[in-house]
Amino acid sequence: MPIKLSRHVNVLSGSPLNRLSWLRTSHPFLNAIIVSPKTQWLVFNSGQSLAFASSDSPHKQSLAFLSTQDVRPLLGPEPFFGQGKEEGELVVESKDVAHSPTEASRLRDSPVVFLGIREDSKSSALPSSEFVDPEAAIANLDGIPYFAMDVAELDLAPERLKEILDLTSLAQNGHVLTWSEPRVLMTGLESFPVAMFAEARSLVDWNLRNKFCPGCGSPNYSMWGGWKLSCSSLLPWADNNRGKPCPSSKGLHNYNHPRTDPVVIMMAIDESGDKILLGRGARFPGKFYSALSGFVEPGETFEGAVAREMWEEAGITVWDIKYHIGQPWPYPSSLMVGFYATADSTQPIRLDLDNELVGGYARWYSRAEILAVLGVGGTFGSTAFNTAESNAARNVQQAQETSLRETMAEEPPFRLPPATVLAGVMIRDWVEGKIGNAVVGKEQPVPLI
């Protein structure tokens, strides 16, 4: 069921897929839709996206969508879900309300992630009587199912993988398939594929990284269409003559389910409303300025994280902290949460309290200065920005210089992030007056120390 949003939808946000989360535990449902001729796949290789381009425009890449027939050699033997102890064995679907360790289990080959179904505008698979039952859902479902997988851990020679990809319908129709750096690829995608990419990449990365149970160290296996990892010691046929049972055998544990790491993107506005604080980290290209940011730490709220990070990174005390907008960031699984806050711009800026801006710079910029830079095209282009992000440890200065030569003739005094990232959106929303009275408070700041 598409989600209707009343405000700006950021890049990587607003997926129209109905995720059908209540059917993830049903291997009859998953086994039925995975073989549908309408089903499409996103494929990754160690996090790199499979992309395609036409032979006459090799530099114009798009996200590759493959059919189940295309990826069938990568999936292993049937059943694909509900796999039993022996290869080819289908487990009996459990009616245990406490959940069974074999719910939509996938014990062999690479984990497969069910992303959801894209329905047409006239259909909506709500969890009603027609869709709670898997068989009824299969019979009544109208739409395109989407799955994703990462081939990095398959026991497959590179030459064999190339042979399989060369036989896909895209390759047979003359398109060139390549593994693409996703941060660069996403800048040229339309809203639907880029939003689905965000879901897919986070989940395949989570499945790929977490091979062992944090509770006892046993190998993990995939369940629930790639949305749960379970300890192999919990399988009914497991040999558990080794002492205490795995802690995950009881209760709910966060390491069994996909994680999201919240990051606050924060912008201090001075009390006049006419200046914002921007900073430049040491790893950014010189002249590139953006909002400050930081991970939310255990035991703190979003607002607390904003206040702490502002103090630690710039020595600035803020108050009147207000949420603005969010953006998923699948590298690997962050959620960017944007906040504005009020601050006194006469406070001295300190960069020595932590290492975020060491070697960098921070200062207050007026609305006129920001408008002047935006007016001459002074943004770090989306592709160049994401290339720099992905190559932070490499020579990102060269990427910036290339972008400057290609996109503008006049040198701006500084550069800003593109509108494809949350900081770029927040800068533009502030300078264009779209935040209303979000930051006009005159309340006194609460000291952090």
Mean pLDDT of the chain: 86
**pLDDT, mean of residues 144-157:** 96
Q: What is the pLDDT of residue 440?
A: 44
Tens of pLDDT, residues 49-70? 999 998 777 788 999 999 999 9
Strands, E, within 344-401: which ranges? 361-366
Q: Rounded CA gap, 362 and 354, in Å?
A: 14
* ∠ CA 113-115-119, rounded to 5°: 150
Contacts of residue 126, Cβ cutoff 8 Å, sequence gap at least 6: 1
Q: What is the mean pLDDT of residues 427-448?
A: 68
Structure tokens at 207: 């499945």
Q: 19-33, pLDDT tens digit by residue?
A: 999 999 999 999 999
- Residue 371: name the closest of 428, 291, 439, 288 by CA: 428
- Let me know if 277 is exposed, middle or buried by CB neighbors in 10 A (0-12, 13-18, 19+): buried
Residue 392, pLDDT score: 44
Structure tokens at 76: 């292993």
**Given this model, what pLDDT does residue 444 score?**
52
**Beta partners for 265?**
293, 338
Kind of pairing between the strands at 334-343 and 261-270:
parallel
The CA distance from 30 to 25, in Å, is 9
Percentage above 70 pLDDT, the chain: 82
The structure's pTM equals 0.86
Compute the distance between CA of residue 336 and CA of residue 328 in angstroms, rounded to an integer: 6
The CA-atom distances, in angstroms, between 258 and each of 24, 43, 172, 181, 222 are: 14, 19, 36, 23, 12
226: left (phi over 0), alpha (psi -120 to 50) or beta: left
DSSP class of residue 155?
A: S
The tokens for 259 are 């994680």
State both tokens at 82: 């509900």
The pLDDT tens digits for 241-278 are 667 889 998 988 999 999 999 999 999 999 999 999 99
Higher-pLDDT residue of 193 and 445 is 193
Q: Does pLDDT of 439 surpass 80?
A: no
For 186-240, write each residue's pLDDT tens digit: 877 888 999 999 999 999 999 999 999 999 999 999 999 999 999 999 999 998 7
Torsion of CA 129, 132, 137, 139, to 10 degrees: -50
Residues ≥6 apart with Cβ < 8 Å to 145 = 33, 34, 36, 38, 39, 40, 114, 116, 117
Percent of the chain whose pLDDT exceeds 90 = 66
Kindly state the DSSP code that residue 411 receives in the 8-state scheme: P
